[in-house]
């Protein structure tokens, strides 16, 4: 279901671009020059973000436990942990590593962030999109790590001027977490 929502979102973004006679490259800073550097910076940023996010997730878990709240993983992570169906695992991988980064970065860093920033509110753009990004994942335990990750993604977009950098970072981040979930004991 989530994958079909992302596909529909990408289709709507594409339709909006056509209506405004813009290409994906014009709208989102997707250029042929600098692709290798953008992907490289994205993967490097993902490595740093992973270490930071895993640390923040551990701290969040401890805070939940100290408050007497049982920490719960995101529903998609739990579904991945519990499934033995190879087809479902492949679909989760395609959604998490392929569709989600393109859709979410197109929406948050490609549309919302620049629109708010161009309206004259750069700090609201940075923090507001980070907050929205973290909230859309519907999990209080992962809120802080995802908020920080979103700040990193926006900074990466600003520094490179290329939407491919946060897309690559997001895909690498999700791929590493996907592998970690499977390696941590998902049913074989």
In the chain, where are the structural domains located? 38-183
Q: Are 46 and 58 in contact (CB under 8 A)?
A: no
Given a cut of 80, whether residue 127 has pLDDT beyond it is: yes
Res 60: pLDDT: 93
- In angstroms, the Cα distances linking 99 to 7, 70, 103, 105 are 7, 30, 6, 10
Res 188: pLDDT: 39
Given a cut of 90, whether residue 153 has pLDDT beyond it is: yes
Res 81: pLDDT: 83
Instruction: Write down the pTM of the prediction.
Output: 0.83
Res 29: pLDDT: 60
Please give the average per-residue pLDDT across 28-48, as a whole number: 84
- DSSP per-residue letters across the chain: -HHHHHHHHHHHHHHHHHHTT--HHHHHT--STTHHHHHHHHHHHHHHHHHHHHHHHHHHHHHHHHTT------HHHHHHHH---HHHHHHHHIIIIIIHHHHHHHHIIIIIHHHHHHTT-HHHHHHHHHHHHHHHT--STTHHHHHHHHHHHHHHHHHH--THHHHHHHHHHHHHHHHHHHHTT---
Given a cut of 90, whether residue 151 has pLDDT beyond it is: yes
How far, in Å, CA of 152 to CA of 112, rounded?
A: 16
Share of the chain above pLDDT 90, in %: 52
Q: Are 156 and 108 in contact (CB under 8 A)?
A: no
Highest mean pLDDT among 30-44, 45-59, 60-74, 91-105: 45-59
More confident residue, 187 or 65: 65
Q: Are 101 and 167 in contact (CB under 8 A)?
A: yes
Res 155: pLDDT: 96
Res 14: pLDDT: 76
Highest mean pLDDT among 35-39, 120-124, 160-164: 120-124
């Amino acid at each position: 279901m989530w994958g079909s929502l992302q596909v529909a979102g990408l289709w709507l973004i594409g339709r909006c671009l056509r209506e405004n006679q813009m290409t994906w490259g014009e709208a989102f800073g997707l250029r042929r020059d600098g692709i290798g550097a953008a992907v490289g910076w994205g993967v490097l940023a993902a490595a740093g973000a992973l270490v930071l996010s895993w640390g923040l997730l551990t701290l969040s878990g401890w805070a939940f436990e100290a408050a007497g709240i049982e920490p719960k993983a995101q529903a998609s992570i739990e579904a991945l942990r519990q499934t033995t169906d190879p087809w479902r695992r492949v679909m989760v991988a395609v959604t998490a590593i392929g569709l989600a980064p393109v859709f979410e970065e197109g929406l948050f860093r490609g549309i919302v962030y620049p629109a708010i920033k161009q309206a004259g509110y750069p700090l609201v753009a940075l923090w507001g999109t980070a907050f929205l990004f973290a909230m859309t994942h519907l999990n209080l335990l992962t809120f802080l790590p995802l908020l920080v990750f979103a700040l990193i993604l926006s900074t990466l977009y600003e520094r490179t001027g290329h939407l491919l950098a946060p897309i690559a970072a997001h895909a690498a981040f999700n791929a590493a977490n996907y592998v970690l979930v499977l390696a941590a004991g998902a049913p074989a």
